[in-house]
């Protein structure tokens, strides 16, 4: 196990330490999310902050460098209409301001540019963890990964954390038991359970009722498990990269 206090954030590293980190473990972590309502008890930035925290834990324990969290994600461009209340099919889904979604094409282009930069920085593996996981976001992220790998050696592993569910359960929800627990373990000061349900309305709006089953202990178990899966998965991809390079020589 590496020193858990060492700096792994790309934006905080100095050139000498950056070069040493890449040399030691050429794995780049890219945490993604969006600004989105997560009930009355959690902050807008939860998705990217959650992914960032999980990536930091993985890199601190298994090596690698972590990009700053990207808070610009997608819900599919059609979401623009319904969340503004302009789509008669989903009038009840109108959202008050505060959530931010970008076009999926813009996200794909941004990721493609980033993969080029990551490859130029000498990374061999990129783990893209999206903490925001509607179908359109996950499809865009996986599509960008596939597009880049068609003609480049960088191994891109694009996933959302519920895909790692196995030995330890990692459920998929929106501000429910799982997301609340994971975020509670990573940012205990930012979880306001006294506001769940929303005290002004008594409702569980933009979150689910099982948020009440969340706990920092469950969160810590899940965080530790996800960090292990990410670190070990990245190490396996690094091995594959080296094997393919050896075969090519
Ligand atoms: Zn979320």
- Give the closest residue to 159 by CA, choosing from 117, 116, 194, 130: 130
Q: Which two tokens stand for residue 13?
A: 């590293």
- Domains of the chain by residue range: 24-248
Q: pTM (2 decimals)?
A: 0.94
Tens-binned pLDDT, residue by residue, of the chain (249 aa): 566 678 999 999 999 999 999 999 999 999 999 999 999 999 999 999 999 999 999 999 999 999 999 999 998 866 666 666 666 665 566 778 888 889 999 999 999 999 999 999 999 999 999 999 999 999 999 999 999 999 999 999 999 999 999 999 999 999 999 999 999 999 999 999 999 999 999 999 889 999 999 999 999 999 999 999 999 999 999 999 999 988 876
The residues that bridge with 30 in the sheet, in sequence order, are: 128
Cα 149 to middle of ligand 1, angstroms: 28
How far does the centroid of ligand 1 lie from the alpha carbon of residue 227, in Å? 18
CATH architecture observed for domain 24-248: 3-Layer(aba) Sandwich (3.40)
Pairwise CA distance, residues 82 & 85, whole Å: 5
**From ligand 1's centre to the CA of 97, what distance in Å?**
17
For residue 162, how far is its CA from the centre of ligand 1 (angstroms)? 12
């Amino acid at each position: 196990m590496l020193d858990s206090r060492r700096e792994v954030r790309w934006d905080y590293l100095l050139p000498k330490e950056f070069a040493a980190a890449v040399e030691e473990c050429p794995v780049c972590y890219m945490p993604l999310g969006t600004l989105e309502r997560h009930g009355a008890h959690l902050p807008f930035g939860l998705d990217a902050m959650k992914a960032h925290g999980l990536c930091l834990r993985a890199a601190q324990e298994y090596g690698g460098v972590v990009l700053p969290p990207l808070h610009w994600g997608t819900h599919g461009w059609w979401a623009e209409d319904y969340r503004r209340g302009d789509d008669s099919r989903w009038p009840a889904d109108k959202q008050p301001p505060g959530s931010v979604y970008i076009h999926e094409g813009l996200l794909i282009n941004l990721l493609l540019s980033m993969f080029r930069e990551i490859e130029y920085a000498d990374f061999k593996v990129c783990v893209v963890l999206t903490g925001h996981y509607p179908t359109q976001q996950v499809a865009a992220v996986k599509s960008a990964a596939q597009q880049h790998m068609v003609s480049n050696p960088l191994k891109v592993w694009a996933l959302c954390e519920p895909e790692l569910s196995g030995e330890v359960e990692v459920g998929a929800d929106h501000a429910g038991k799982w997301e609340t627990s994971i975020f509670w373990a990573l940012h205990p000061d930012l979880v306001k359970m006294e506001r769940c349900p929303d005290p002004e309305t008594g409702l569980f709006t933009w979150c689910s009722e099982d948020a009440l089953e969340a706990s920092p202990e469950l969160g810590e178990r899940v965080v530790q498990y996800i960090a292990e899966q990410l670190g070990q998965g990245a190490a396996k991809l690094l091995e594959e990269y080296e094997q393919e390079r050896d075969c090519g020589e």
